[in-house]
Amino acid sequence: MSADLTSASQPATPPAASEGGGVIHDIGYRRYDAERHGRPGIVAALTWHSFRAAFGLGRGAKAKIFPVLLFVLMCLPAIVDTVGLAIHPGSQPVVSYDAYIPSLRTVAMLIFVALEAPNLVSADLRTHTLPLYFARPIQRIDYPLAKLIAFVLACLVMIEVPLLLLYIGNVTQQHGPSQVLEQTLQLGPGLLYGGAWALLLASIGLLLASATGKRVFAICAIGIPLFFSYILAHVLSQVGEQAFGPLGPGEPSALASLAGLISPFTLLGGVLRWLQAPRGDQVQAQMIQATVVGHYGWVYGAVFVVVTAAAIGGLFARYRKVGIA
């Protein structure tokens, strides 16, 4: 085979003799015999490509406006907190590692997921680019897998980088290793909880976005359910509290306790409440988190796992079946 190929890949015409440069040489067809990446390398390349796409990198300036704006918005509390500490040393930080600023995080991540998830998956559906991917040496599952990893990473950047900024700001104001250690111990759970946000929102966002190739429809398909479920969860929680009243001290009614399961954001809030309960941070949790869980904290944990798994499973199933017309 090689002898045949070598002769075939010789230049069709010898390169023209160049006098003063500027002559285009017909170098003929060149074979590629060097190393190739296997499946992991290709998936990594697709992941990196998709991660960049989530922030509008590799596309026009317009595509970068919203992700950059949202990212700056997410970082603002950390910066403000740091500046506040610098001006008034010894004051208590107002931003926590766990929930950060829940309302800001909810709004910013809702917009980020709704706007950027379609860039990762809907665009390829709309332009029928998928056949080009599936004709490459990857398996069907590799495409949604790379997209999921990329988008979880993108959400992590949105959520965790502000936490790290907050940590750096706090640590620079602290004195003594014990205080630094205390900050570090608080940061750890915050990062983990941020990971839960990224995983749940990225998987739900991609699943909804992969339903349609039209960008506007995809944005609506993500934004509308996320927004209205969040509102509904709050309304039901209020109704639960006011109509049925608390069953006892620290024991809200079942409706109030379970209403938070409706929306991913209140679901995540409930998970935090459930995890914080043993630490006895009720006061702080009350302050930062609207979700009421009562005795049903474990339900929030279970629903979080089930919903995340279902969204990821649905995403993979979607690409097993997707047409490659």
Question: Least distance in Å: CB of 142 to other proteins?
Answer: 10
Do the Cβ atoms of 152 and 120 come closer than 8 Å?
no
Do the Cβ atoms of 295 and 257 come closer than 8 Å?
yes
List 81, 124, 160, 281, residue binding other proteins (CB under 8 A):
124
Do the Cβ atoms of 85 and 170 come closer than 8 Å?
yes
**Among 179, 155, 157, which Cα is nearest to 167's?**
179
**Among 53, 75, 68, which Cα is nearest to 161's?**
75
**29 sits near other proteins (criterion: CB under 8 A):** yes
Compare residues 146 and 271 and give the one whose CB is closer to other proteins: 146
**279 sits near other proteins (criterion: CB under 8 A):** no
Rounded distance, CA 208 to CA 223, Å? 10
Rounded distance, CA 325 to CA 8, Å? 34
Do the Cβ atoms of 297 and 274 come closer than 8 Å?
yes
**22 sits near other proteins (criterion: CB under 8 A):** no
Stretch that binds other proteins, among 127-135, 151-159, 234-242, 313-321 (CB under 8 A): 127-135
**31 sits near other proteins (criterion: CB under 8 A):** yes
- Residue 131-160 contact track with other proteins, rule CB under 8 A, x = bound: xxxxxxxxx---------------------
Binding to other proteins (CB under 8 A): which residues in 40-79?
41-42, 45-46, 49, 58-60
**28 sits near other proteins (criterion: CB under 8 A):** yes
Stretch that binds other proteins, among 7-15, 152-160, 177-185, 194-202 (CB under 8 A): 7-15
Distances 56 to 60, 62, 174 between C-alpha atoms, Å: 7, 8, 37
**Among 191, 161, 174, which Cα is nearest to 77's?**
161
Q: Footprint of other proteins on this chain (CB under 8 A)?
A: 1, 4-5, 7-9, 12, 28-32, 34-39, 41-42, 45-46, 49, 58-60, 123-124, 127-129, 131-139, 324-325
